[in-house]
Protein backbone atom coordinates (compact mmCIF):
# COMPACT_ATOMS: atom_id res chain seq x y z
CA UNK A 1 0.00 0.00 0.00
CA UNK A 2 2.70 2.51 0.95
CA UNK A 3 4.43 2.13 -2.41
CA UNK A 4 1.31 3.44 -4.17
CA UNK A 5 0.88 6.32 -1.72
CA UNK A 6 4.55 7.28 -1.80
CA UNK A 7 4.60 7.08 -5.61
CA UNK A 8 1.60 9.44 -5.71
CA UNK A 9 3.54 11.86 -3.49
CA UNK A 10 6.55 11.63 -5.83
CA UNK A 11 4.37 12.33 -8.88
CA UNK A 12 2.69 15.25 -7.11
CA UNK A 13 6.01 16.82 -6.11
CA UNK A 14 7.74 16.36 -9.47
CA UNK A 15 4.76 17.59 -11.50
CA UNK A 16 3.95 20.52 -9.22
CA UNK A 17 7.34 21.65 -7.90
CA UNK A 18 9.91 19.96 -10.13
CA UNK A 19 12.45 17.18 -10.05
CA UNK A 20 14.98 19.13 -7.96
CA UNK A 21 12.48 19.58 -5.13
CA UNK A 22 11.61 15.88 -5.20
CA UNK A 23 15.27 14.85 -5.00
CA UNK A 24 15.85 17.15 -2.00
CA UNK A 25 12.71 15.87 -0.26
CA UNK A 26 13.54 12.22 -0.95
CA UNK A 27 17.13 12.62 0.30
CA UNK A 28 15.94 14.39 3.47
CA UNK A 29 13.32 11.70 4.15
CA UNK A 30 15.66 8.78 3.48
CA UNK A 31 19.27 9.21 2.39
CA UNK A 32 19.89 7.55 -0.96
CA UNK A 33 16.22 7.48 -1.98
CA UNK A 34 15.66 8.74 -5.53
CA UNK A 35 12.58 6.98 -6.89
CA UNK A 36 9.55 5.20 -5.48
CA UNK A 37 8.38 1.94 -6.98
CA UNK A 38 4.58 1.77 -6.69
CA UNK A 39 4.42 -2.00 -6.21
CA UNK A 40 7.08 -2.26 -3.50
CA UNK A 41 6.43 -2.14 0.22
CA UNK A 42 7.96 0.72 2.19
CA UNK A 43 8.06 1.36 5.93
CA UNK A 44 4.84 3.13 7.01
CA UNK A 45 6.79 6.02 8.52
CA UNK A 46 8.44 6.88 5.18
CA UNK A 47 5.20 8.52 4.02
CA UNK A 48 5.20 10.95 6.94
CA UNK A 49 8.93 11.57 6.56
CA UNK A 50 8.38 12.48 2.89
CA UNK A 51 5.49 14.79 3.76
CA UNK A 52 7.37 16.44 6.62
CA UNK A 53 10.42 16.95 4.38
CA UNK A 54 8.20 18.49 1.70
CA UNK A 55 6.57 20.80 4.24
CA UNK A 56 9.99 21.93 5.47
CA UNK A 57 11.43 22.33 1.97
CA UNK A 58 8.52 24.46 0.75
CA UNK A 59 7.92 26.16 4.10
CA UNK A 60 4.21 25.32 3.88
CA UNK A 61 1.84 23.87 6.44
CA UNK A 62 1.19 20.16 6.01
CA UNK A 63 -2.64 20.36 5.77
CA UNK A 64 -2.36 22.80 2.84
CA UNK A 65 0.09 20.47 1.05
CA UNK A 66 -2.17 17.48 1.67
CA UNK A 67 -5.13 19.39 0.25
CA UNK A 68 -3.06 20.13 -2.87
CA UNK A 69 -2.16 16.44 -3.05
CA UNK A 70 -5.87 15.55 -2.96
CA UNK A 71 -6.56 17.94 -5.83
CA UNK A 72 -3.64 16.47 -7.76
CA UNK A 73 -5.04 12.93 -7.38
CA UNK A 74 -8.04 14.01 -9.46
CA UNK A 75 -6.58 16.57 -11.84
CA UNK A 76 -2.90 15.70 -12.24
CA UNK A 77 -1.42 14.35 -15.44
CA UNK A 78 -1.44 10.59 -15.34
CA UNK A 79 -4.20 10.49 -12.71
CA UNK A 80 -6.99 9.68 -15.19
CA UNK A 81 -7.58 6.24 -13.65
CA UNK A 82 -8.31 7.73 -10.23
CA UNK A 83 -10.62 10.35 -11.74
CA UNK A 84 -12.50 7.65 -13.64
CA UNK A 85 -12.82 5.50 -10.51
CA UNK A 86 -14.26 8.47 -8.61
CA UNK A 87 -16.68 9.37 -11.42
CA UNK A 88 -18.31 5.96 -11.02
CA UNK A 89 -19.75 7.42 -7.81
CA UNK A 90 -22.64 9.01 -9.72
CA UNK A 91 -23.86 11.33 -12.46
CA UNK A 92 -24.01 14.44 -10.25
CA UNK A 93 -21.91 15.71 -7.37
CA UNK A 94 -24.57 14.85 -4.80
CA UNK A 95 -24.63 11.25 -6.07
CA UNK A 96 -20.86 11.16 -5.78
CA UNK A 97 -20.98 12.66 -2.30
CA UNK A 98 -23.51 10.15 -1.01
CA UNK A 99 -21.44 7.29 -2.45
CA UNK A 100 -18.26 8.29 -0.60
CA UNK A 101 -18.78 5.62 2.05
CA UNK A 102 -18.28 3.03 -0.73
CA UNK A 103 -14.98 4.56 -1.86
CA UNK A 104 -12.63 2.42 0.28
CA UNK A 105 -14.33 -0.73 -1.05
CA UNK A 106 -14.19 0.44 -4.67
CA UNK A 107 -10.52 1.34 -4.24
CA UNK A 108 -9.83 -2.13 -2.80
CA UNK A 109 -11.48 -3.75 -5.84
CA UNK A 110 -9.15 -1.82 -8.15
CA UNK A 111 -6.07 -2.04 -5.91
CA UNK A 112 -6.35 -4.87 -3.35
CA UNK A 113 -3.33 -3.63 -1.36
CA UNK A 114 -4.80 -0.14 -0.88
CA UNK A 115 -6.55 -0.11 2.48
CA UNK A 116 -8.14 3.31 2.87
CA UNK A 117 -9.74 4.33 6.16
CA UNK A 118 -13.53 4.23 6.27
CA UNK A 119 -15.64 7.26 5.45
CA UNK A 120 -18.92 8.20 7.13
CA UNK A 121 -21.15 10.89 5.62
CA UNK A 122 -23.86 12.54 7.71
CA UNK A 123 -26.50 14.75 6.11
CA UNK A 124 -26.88 17.73 8.44
CA UNK A 125 -29.73 19.21 6.35
CA UNK A 126 -30.04 22.21 4.05
CA UNK A 127 -27.16 21.11 1.84
CA UNK A 128 -24.71 20.67 4.74
CA UNK A 129 -22.80 17.42 5.23
CA UNK A 130 -20.21 16.16 7.68
CA UNK A 131 -17.68 13.67 6.36
CA UNK A 132 -15.79 11.72 9.00
CA UNK A 133 -12.57 10.06 7.87
CA UNK A 134 -11.88 7.23 10.28
CA UNK A 135 -8.49 6.98 11.98
CA UNK A 136 -5.65 5.16 10.32
CA UNK A 137 -4.01 7.58 7.91
CA UNK A 138 -3.06 10.97 9.41
CA UNK A 139 -3.92 13.83 7.06
CA UNK A 140 -6.51 11.81 5.15
CA UNK A 141 -9.16 14.45 5.87
CA UNK A 142 -7.03 17.22 4.35
CA UNK A 143 -6.43 15.06 1.26
CA UNK A 144 -10.19 14.54 1.02
CA UNK A 145 -10.77 18.32 1.04
CA UNK A 146 -8.60 18.69 -2.06
CA UNK A 147 -10.14 15.65 -3.70
CA UNK A 148 -13.68 16.93 -3.02
CA UNK A 149 -12.79 20.39 -4.34
CA UNK A 150 -11.47 18.89 -7.59
CA UNK A 151 -14.47 16.58 -7.92
CA UNK A 152 -16.87 19.50 -7.39
CA UNK A 153 -15.13 21.22 -10.32
CA UNK A 154 -15.36 17.99 -12.26
CA UNK A 155 -19.14 17.88 -11.77
CA UNK A 156 -19.64 21.64 -12.14
CA UNK A 157 -20.94 22.01 -8.57
CA UNK A 158 -20.43 24.97 -6.27
CA UNK A 159 -19.27 23.62 -2.92
CA UNK A 160 -17.82 25.13 0.25
CA UNK A 161 -15.37 22.91 2.13
CA UNK A 162 -13.77 23.22 5.53
CA UNK A 163 -11.24 20.88 7.11
CA UNK A 164 -12.33 20.35 10.71
CA UNK A 165 -9.07 18.82 11.87
CA UNK A 166 -8.24 15.68 13.79
CA UNK A 167 -10.15 14.43 16.84
CA UNK A 168 -8.39 12.81 19.84
CA UNK A 169 -9.32 9.36 18.47
CA UNK A 170 -7.52 10.11 15.17
CA UNK A 171 -10.67 10.60 13.07
CA UNK A 172 -10.78 13.70 10.87
CA UNK A 173 -13.77 15.80 9.86
CA UNK A 174 -14.56 17.62 6.63
CA UNK A 175 -17.54 20.00 6.49
CA UNK A 176 -19.26 20.24 3.10
CA UNK A 177 -21.88 22.75 1.97
CA UNK A 178 -23.41 22.03 -1.43
CA UNK A 179 -24.39 25.53 -2.57
CA UNK A 180 -25.43 24.67 -6.12
CA UNK A 181 -25.47 21.29 -7.86
CA UNK A 182 -25.19 22.64 -11.43
CA UNK A 183 -23.20 25.86 -11.05
CA UNK A 184 -21.01 25.33 -14.14
CA UNK A 185 -20.76 22.91 -17.01
CA UNK A 186 -19.56 19.49 -15.86
CA UNK A 187 -16.48 17.97 -17.42
CA UNK A 188 -17.29 15.35 -20.06
CA UNK A 189 -17.26 11.77 -18.84
CA UNK A 190 -18.17 8.57 -20.65
CA UNK A 191 -18.49 5.17 -19.05
CA UNK A 192 -16.53 3.53 -21.86
CA UNK A 193 -13.16 4.88 -22.99
CA UNK A 194 -12.96 5.69 -26.68
Task: 181-188: list long-range contacts, CB under 8 Å, 24+ apart.
Answer: 181/92, 181/93, 181/94, 181/157, 182/92, 182/156, 182/157, 183/156, 183/157, 183/158, 184/153, 184/156, 184/158, 185/156, 186/154, 186/155, 186/156, 187/153, 187/154, 187/155, 187/156
Structural domain spans, the chain? 2-60, 71-180
pLDDT at residue 11, rounded to an integer = 94
pLDDT at residue 65, rounded to an integer = 96
pTM summary value: 0.90
pLDDT at residue 185, rounded to an integer = 67
For residues 177 and 103, the answer to whether their CB atoms sit within 8 Å is: no
Ranges in the chain, pLDDT < 50 = none
> CATH topology for 71-180?
H-NOX domain (3.90.1520)
pLDDT at residue 190, rounded to an integer = 61
For residues 141 and 172, the answer to whether their CB atoms sit within 8 Å is: yes
For residues 103 and 89, the answer to whether their CB atoms sit within 8 Å is: yes
> pLDDT tens, 65-91?
999 999 999 988 878 778 878 887 888
pLDDT at residue 129, rounded to an integer = 97
> Which residue, among 154, 151, 142, has the nearest Cα to 186 in the 3D structure?
154
pLDDT at residue 38, rounded to an integer = 85
Amino acid sequence: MYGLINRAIECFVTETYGEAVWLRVAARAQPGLRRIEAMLDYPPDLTMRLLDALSQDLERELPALLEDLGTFLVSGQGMVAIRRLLRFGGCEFLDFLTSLEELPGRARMALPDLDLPGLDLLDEGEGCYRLTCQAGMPGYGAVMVGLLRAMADEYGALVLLDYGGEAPDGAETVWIVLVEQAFAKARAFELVRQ
